[in-house]
């Protein structure tokens, strides 16, 4: 395959900027990707990266992604969407930085991490085998062997590779035996990715790359601990020992630059085992159980490596994971998804003390929503911007749009001054209208807004942590008291979205047919 060129893989480093009191205390850090002496991309932590589908943030055009590059340079992609035709299209992309090029993202300003599966996708799928992972494509299930994955990633050159892991996607709960198998396979597959391959071209050696591993073990704390301990063990040479260069890799973990925690699958298993009541480790509050399980995974491992969480579900959970598990990076999946359901996020951290009535609804139990469900008819005449309260500073496409110089199409327009200037914010009423008329622009504006609100949230977390770390826990507690941690607004938005979508009855469809 083509793709691989002489350019050395970028180097990812992670440095803690504060000294955490315990291995699980909240911490400040800096993840830095050095591509060359002139191309350095920094991500401060606790921080965020974008969740993508087929390499794109749903609804956000490439020009908008590049506008956000400074704040959100890191995108996570999954390879599954490219497996419907083989060889996968991105592996055929010529030139340097094939994956960046394919996604239309300049390598100078974007970091791409790549996993095989979409960590947010927990649909049931056929079980993996000893030597393959079952991958879902629109053309059915594909069995992906670790060597395929290895060659794909060495071809497309993501900045960070998430090693394959055997996570059961059949119905939980899982037997002890299944868990052991999952751990064994994941360790073995990791070994295969890390092993050097004298039989292959040098370009297939991806050991110099930045590799993250997903910490598996399901809802069983002992299994999770066992998996992590395995990472500290020596890399077991496989059965094809004779063909391997007699070079030993001291420990698997030495070649790993970050740990990944996949919450979507964990949450699914947890709810299954809770309903069965057969798992002693998860009989407590689910949030507490999650913390325990993540700690079980992290405790055997060095504390100074990057900890990455996929598919968190709320700002509350993010705060808890930062505060109690010392998590460094999160994807913005839930906020992006909220944009699909018509939710405009509007919350502040630390909780604002000023009284105002422009913020989201306060429920009968006293909890305030973290956003506005703009499907609600109450917004039809609401000509305010998306965020209420004192923080009018949201810099998103909806709250702070700005005009750029237009493309001239004839010599006449060169004399016509296209002026670049700020535009008025889009209103709740307008987005309400767009949602009810199925206009895609609603989601483009909302996803930009929600990501920006989350970004501001993380900036506030960092500044609270750096100003007064003990105060952080107090603020987390205040946040939990103020805002609805059950995120009822999300479910309401999802239902409203469904209703409006169903209301696309005959009349509406006919109307759409005539106009779209």
Partner 1 sequence: MEFEIIAKCHTTHARVSRMTMTHGTTYLPTFMPVATQGAMKGLTSQQVEALGVTLILNNTYHLNLRPGTKVLDAAGGAHKFQGWRKNLLTDSGGFQMVSLSSFTKITEEGVLFASPYTGEPTMLTPEESIGIQHSIGADIIMQLDDVVHSLTTGPRVEEAMWRSIRWLDRCIAKHKSSGRTDRQNLFAIVQGGLSPDLRQKCLDEMVKRKDDLPGYAIGGLSGGEEKDIFWKIVKQCAEQLPEDRPRYCMGIGFAEDLLVCVALGVDMADCVFPTRTARFGVALTRDGPMNLRLDRHRTSFFPIDANCPCLTCSSGMSRAALHNLVTHETVAAHAITQHNLVFQASVMGGARDAIIEGRFPQYLKDFFQRYFADAAYPRWCVDALRSVNVDILEGIENPRIVEGKGAKWEYSNKIPKQKKP
Pick the piece of the chain touching Zn ion (CB under 5 A) from 78-86, 283-291, 396-404, 499-507.
396-404
Q: Is 507 in the site for partner 1 (CB under 8 A)?
A: yes
Q: Is 399 in the site for Zn ion (CB under 5 A)?
A: yes
Over the range 416-452, which residues count as b (16 or more CB within 10 Å of their CB) and which as e?
eeeeeeeeebbbbebbbebbbeeeebbbbbbbbbbbb
Over the range 163-173, which residues count as b (16 or more CB within 10 Å of their CB) and which as e?
bbbbbbbeebb
Looking at 262-390, list the stretches that DSSP marks H as alpha helix, in order from N- to C-terminal side: 263-276, 286-298, 315-325, 333-340
- Which residue among 23, 350, 389, 401 contacts partner 1 (CB under 8 A)? 401
Instruction: Give the integer Cα–Cα distance in Å for 264 and 63.
Output: 30
Q: What is the largest CA-CA distance in the chain?
A: 75
Instruction: Give the integer Cα–Cα distance in Å for 359 and 356.
Output: 7
Q: In the range 25-54, which residues lie near partner 1 by CB under 8 A?
A: 53-54
- Which residue among 134, 147, 299, 427 contacts partner 1 (CB under 8 A)? 427
Residue 449 interface partner, choices Zn ion, partner 1, none, CB cut-off 5-8 Å depending on type: Zn ion
Q: Is 60 in the site for partner 1 (CB under 8 A)?
A: yes
- Which residue among 5, 13, 18, 381 contacts partner 1 (CB under 8 A)? 381
- Which residue among 234, 408, 495, 504 contacts partner 1 (CB under 8 A)? 408
Nearer to partner 1, 32 or 433 (CB): 433
- Which residue among 68, 133, 252, 394 contacts Zn ion (CB under 5 A)? 394
Q: Is 375 in the site for partner 1 (CB under 8 A)?
A: no
Residue 57 interface partner, choices Zn ion, partner 1, none, CB cut-off 5-8 Å depending on type: partner 1
Which residue reads 């008025």 in tokens? 424
Q: DSSP string covering 405-461, please?
A: PPPP-SHHHHHS-----B-PPPPHHHHHHHHHTT-THHHHHHHHHHHHHHHHHHHHH
- Which residue among 1, 20, 30, 58 contacts partner 1 (CB under 8 A)? 58
DSSP classification of residue 143: E
Least distance between partner 1 and beta carbon 145 (Å): 23
Q: Is 470 in the site for partner 1 (CB under 8 A)?
A: no
Give the dihedral sign, CA 66/68/70/72: negative
Q: Is 396 in the site for Zn ion (CB under 5 A)?
A: yes
Contacts of 301 (CB under 8 A, 6+ apart): 228, 231, 232, 253, 259
Nearer to partner 1, 86 or 276 (CB): 86
Q: Strand pairing partners for 201?
A: none
Give the dihedral sign, CA 371/374/378/384: positive
Size of the site for partner 1 (CB under 8 A): 68
Site string for Zn ion, 370-389 (x = CB under 5 A): ----------------x---
DSSP classification of residue 236: P
Nearer to Zn ion, 69 or 391 (CB): 391
Q: Is 449 in the site for Zn ion (CB under 5 A)?
A: yes
Phi-psi region of 143 (alpha: psi -120 to 50; beta: other; left: phi over 0): beta
Nearer to partner 1, 495 or 508 (CB): 508
Footprint of partner 1 on this chain (CB under 8 A)? 53-63, 66, 81-82, 85, 89, 92-95, 101-104, 380-381, 383, 397, 401-413, 416, 418, 423-424, 426-427, 429-430, 432-434, 436-437, 439-445, 507-508, 510-511, 514-516
Footprint of Zn ion on this chain (CB under 5 A)? 386, 394, 396, 398-399, 449
């Amino acid at each position: 395959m083509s793709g691989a060129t002489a350019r050395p893989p970028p180097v990812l480093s992670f440095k803690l900027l504060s000294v955490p009191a315990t291995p699980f205390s909240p911490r400040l850090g800096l993840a830095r990707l050095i591509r060359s002496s002139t191309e350095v991309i920094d991500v401060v932590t606790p921080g965020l990266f974008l969740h993508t589908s087929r390499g794109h943030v749903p609804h956000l055009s490439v020009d908008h992604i590049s506008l956000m590059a400074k704040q959100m340079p890191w995108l996570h992609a999954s390879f599954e969407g490219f497996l419907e035709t083989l060889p996968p299209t991105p592996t055929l992309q010529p030139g340097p930085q094939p994956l960046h090029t394919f996604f239309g993202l300049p390598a100078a300003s974007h970091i791409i991490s790549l996993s095989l599966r979409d960590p947010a996708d927990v649909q049931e799928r056929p079980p993996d085998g000893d030597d393959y992972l079952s991958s879902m494509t629109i053309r059915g299930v594909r069995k992906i062997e670790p060597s395929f994955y290895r060659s794909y990633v060495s071809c497309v050159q993501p900045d960070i590779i998430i090693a394959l892991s055997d996570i059961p996607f059949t119905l939980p709960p899982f037997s002890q035996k299944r868990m052991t198998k999952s751990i064994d396979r994941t360790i073995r597959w990791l070994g295969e990715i890390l092993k050097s391959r004298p039989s292959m071209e040098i370009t297939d050696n991806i050991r110099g790359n930045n590799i993250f591993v997903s910490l598996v073990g399901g809802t069983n704390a002992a299994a999770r601990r066992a998996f992590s301990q395995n990472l500290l063990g020596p890399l077991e040479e496989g059965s094809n020992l004779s063909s391997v260069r007699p070079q030993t890799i001291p420990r698997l973990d030495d070649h790993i630059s970050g740990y990944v925690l996949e919450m979507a699958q964990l949450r699914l298993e947890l709810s299954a085992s809770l309903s069965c009541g057969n798992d002693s480790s998860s009989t407590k509050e689910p949030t507490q159980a999650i913390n325990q399980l993540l700690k079980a995974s992290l405790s055997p491992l060095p504390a100074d490596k990057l900890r990455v969480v996929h598919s968190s579900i709320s700002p509350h959970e993010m705060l808890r994971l930062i505060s109690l598990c010392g998590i460094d990076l999160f994807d913005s999946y839930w906020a992006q998804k909220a944009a699909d359901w018509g939710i405009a996020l509007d919350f502040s951290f630390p909780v604002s003390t000023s009284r105002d009535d422009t913020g989201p609804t306060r429920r009968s139990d006293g909890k305030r929503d973290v956003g506005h469900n703009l499907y609600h008819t109450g917004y039809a005449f609401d000509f305010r911007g998306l965020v209420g309260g004192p923080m009018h500073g949201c810099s998103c496409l909806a709250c702070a749009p700005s005009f750029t110089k237009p493309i001239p199409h004839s010599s006449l327009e060169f004399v016509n001054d296209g002026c670049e200037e700020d535009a008025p914010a889009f209103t709740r009423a307008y987005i309400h209208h767009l949602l009810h008329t199925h206009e895609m622009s609603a989601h483009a504006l909302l996803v930009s807004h929600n990501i920006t609100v989350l970004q501001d949230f993380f900036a506030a977390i960092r500044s609270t942590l750096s100003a007064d770390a003990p105060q952080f826990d107090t603020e987390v507690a205040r946040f939990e008291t103020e805002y609805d941690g059950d995120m009822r607004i999300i479910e309401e938005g999802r239902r409203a979205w469904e209703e409006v979508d169903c209301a696309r009855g005959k009349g509406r469809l006919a109307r759409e047919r005539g106009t779209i």
